[in-house]
Copies of this chain bind each other. A is one copy, B any other.
Amino acid sequence: MAASAESGGGEGVLSRVVRILQQFGPDTPVLRVSEVARRTELHLATASRLVEEMVRLGLLARDADRRVRIGLRLWELASRTPPTLGLREAAMPYLEDLHAVSGHHAQLAVLDDGEALFVERLSAPGAVVNITTIAGRLPLHASSSGLVLLAHAPAELQERILAGPLKRYTGHTPGSPAALRSMLAEIRRAGFVSCPGFIDAHATGIAAPIRDAGGRVVASLGVVIPNDDEARSQIPAVRAAARGVTRALSDGGHGKASR
């Protein structure tokens, strides 16, 4: 009975805590408690007490001016055994090589909640524009990483994405269900995708699938490079790197930890 009462109270509190954590993002790394309250639609007193408790436990950290940010302890708890640890460890050497060869961005994405979630990225200073960040997300239909994941996703998810809306970032982003459907078939046939100017006119994304020991696509590996005549020359390197990670996942028994 006591347990039930405790968890009953906890349900609401935990949801609110997650809602508070969701307010921190690339554009809002630091927030005042009043901003937290406004954004979460919590009473200021409730937000203040929850934030206070989160600071005490290290889930949030307070700046000198009393604004709050994600706490080092929360990062540590989430990163000590990250859901993508096995995948990241298998992929990192290949990601580094690809980054060294491409000279721009190399990145690793997994499918989560109908989007491409980027779990690692290596970038060179001065590299071509790339809107992804670590733990950032992009739509499946518009990004090279996302298209590879979508091409191998369950049919229900494919149909949901095909049903739209298909946001067009540029004139090259696939904007019709027919165009997207044929692109997905081509990705499955060719084993990679090259997306010149799909998200930014100046950038080309190239990505290929990573499979677990059972042959299931669990991630995509790719580069973002300048959109020029040389771009397609990177395709073999991306495909080879994705195959290398696939082999490492099968050899190393990392498959179970890949998601």
Which A residues lie at the B interface, using CB under 8 A? 2-4, 6-7, 9-18, 21-22, 24-26, 28-29, 43, 45-46, 49-50, 53-54, 57-59, 61, 69-85, 92-93, 96, 99-100, 110, 112, 117, 119, 122-125, 133-136, 257, 259
Contact = CB atoms under 8 A, between A and B. Distances in A.
Question: Interface centre among A13, A54, A257, by most B CB within 10 Å?
Answer: A13
Contact of A80 (B7, B24, B59): B24
Given A7-B53, A14-B13, A49-B7, A78 B70 contact: yes
A14 B92 contact: no
A259 B75 CA distance: 12
Given A18-B59, A25-B81, A72-B112, 15 more contacts: A2-B43, A4-B49, A7-B50, A10-B17, A22-B77, A24-B77, A29-B81, A69-B83, A70-B78, A72-B83, A72-B84, A75-B83, A80-B135, A92-B122, A92-B123
B75 A125 contact: no
Given A72-B259, A259-B72, A3 B83 contact: no
A16 B17 CA distance: 13
Copies held by the complex:
2
Nearest to A9: B9
Contacts of A17: 10, 14, 17
Given A70-B83, A77-B18, A112-B72, A45 B9 contact: no
A80 B136 contact: yes
A223 to B, nearest CB: 15
Contact of A110 (B72, B84, B93): B72
Given A10-B13, A11-B53, A84 B75 contact: yes
Contact of A77 (B10, B21, B43, B57): B21
A220 to B, nearest CB: 15
Contact of A3 (B22, B49, B58, B99): B49
Nearest to A7: B49
Contacts of A2: 43, 46
